[in-house]
Structure 1
Amino acid sequence: MPTVLSYPSLRCVLEFLDANRRQHVVARTPTLQQTNNSLPINVSNLEFTRYRLALDSLYITVSDTKVTWQKNNARLAWEKRFPVGIDKDGMWKKITKFFLTEKPKFHVNRLHIFSTESPIVVPSDVSVRANEMRVDGSFSFNHYLSIVDPISLPLKTLYTDVDGESTFDNPVFNTAETLTCRFSPRTQFIPLTKFDKVLSKNVRIEYVHFWHEKAEELIRHWREVGKEIGTNYVFFKDDKNMITRALSKLNDIFPEFNNLLEGVDERFITDSPRFSIPMNSTSKIFVYGNVATERGFDHYELTVKVTSMDTELECSAKKKPRLTSS
Structure 2
Amino acid sequence: MSKPLSYQSTRCVLQYFDSTERFLLTSHCPAIKQFEKSIPLRLKSLEFKKDSITWNGLRFCLNETVSVQIGVKRARRGEVRPRRAGEISRTCSYSVTITKRDTRMMSGQRTIARCTKRIKISENKALEKLACILLGERNIIYTKRVEVEDEYPADIEWPANFKVAVDTLVAEHHNFEYILPIVSDSSTLKYLDSQFSKVETFDNDLVKRVGALSITNINESCYPKLATLRNNTVDIVNSSLPKEVIISIVKNWKEEGREIETFFCTKYEEDEEDEEDILDTLNNRLEGRNGTKSSNEGVDRLDVSMSTSSTIVVQKDHSRSFTLEAVHK
User: How would you bin the TM-score normalised by the shorter chain?
Assistant: 0.5 to 0.7
Distance of 2:297 and 2:63 partners within structure 1: 48
Contact 1:41/1:104 (8 A) holds in 2: no
Instruction: Give unmatched runs, 5+ long, in structure 2.
Output: 66-94, 102-106, 271-276, 284-288
CA drift of 1:20 comes to: 1.6
Q: What secondary structure, in the 3-state scheme, does the structure 1 residue paired with 2:179 have?
A: helix
1:76–1:34 CA distance, 2 compared to 1 (3 A):
closer
Residue 118 (structure 2) aligns with: 83
1:180–1:28 CA distance, 2 compared to 1 (3 A):
same
1:99-133 alpha-carbon deviations (Å, 9 max, x no partner): 11255742222222235553332223323333333
Residue 143 (structure 1) aligns with: 178
1:282 aligns with 2:309: yes
Distance of 1:88 and 1:183 partners within structure 2: 27
1:121 aligns with 2:151: no
Q: 2:132 aligns with which of 97, 106, 109?
A: 97
Residue 112 (structure 1) aligns with: 147
Residue 228 (structure 1) aligns with: 258
TM-score computed with the length of structure 2 as normaliser: 0.64
Distance of 1:118 and 1:32 partners within structure 2: 32
Within 5 Å, which residues of 2 pair with 1:30-45?
Answer: 36=36, 39-45=39-45
Distance of 2:33 and 2:196 partners within structure 1: 43
Residue 210 (structure 2) aligns with: 176
Distance of 2:139 and 2:16 partners within structure 1: 13
Within 5 Å, which residues of 2 pair with 1:1-326?
Answer: 12=12, 14-24=14-24, 36=36, 39-65=39-65, 66-72=95-101, 74=108, 77=111, 79-83=114-118, 85-101=120-136, 105-115=140-150, 118-137=154-173, 139-152=174-187, 155-184=189-218, 187-188=219-220, 190-191=222-223, 193-209=224-240, 215-223=246-254, 225-230=255-260, 232-235=262-265, 254=283, 257-258=292-293, 271-288=298-315, 302-309=322-329
Contact 1:168/1:197 (8 A) holds in 2: no
Distance of 2:20 and 2:172 partners within structure 1: 26
CA drift of 1:250 comes to: 5.1
Contact 2:137/2:162 (8 A) holds in 1: no
Q: Which letter maps to 2:96? A: V
Instruction: Give unmatched runs, 5+ long, in structure 1.
Output: 243-248, 261-268, 291-299, 310-326
CA drift of 1:301 comes to: 6.6
Distance of 1:10 and 1:270 partners within structure 2: 63
Contact 1:232/1:303 (8 A) holds in 2: no
CA drift of 1:14 comes to: 3.8
Contact 2:227/2:253 (8 A) holds in 1: no
Contact 1:51/1:62 (8 A) holds in 2: yes
**Count of matched residue pairs:** 276
Structure 1 or 2: larger helix share? 1
Q: Which letter maps to 1:303? A: T
1:91–1:207 CA distance, 2 compared to 1 (3 A):
closer
1:198–1:288 CA distance, 2 compared to 1 (3 A):
closer
1:15–1:222 CA distance, 2 compared to 1 (3 A):
same
Residue 245 (structure 1) aligns with: none
TM-score computed with the length of structure 1 as normaliser: 0.65
Q: Which letter maps to 2:226? A: F
Q: Which letter maps to 2:202? A: F
1:54–1:31 CA distance, 2 compared to 1 (3 A):
closer
Structure 1 or 2: larger strand share? 2
CA drift of 1:23 comes to: 2.8
CA drift of 1:55 comes to: 0.7
Q: Which letter maps to 1:258? A: K
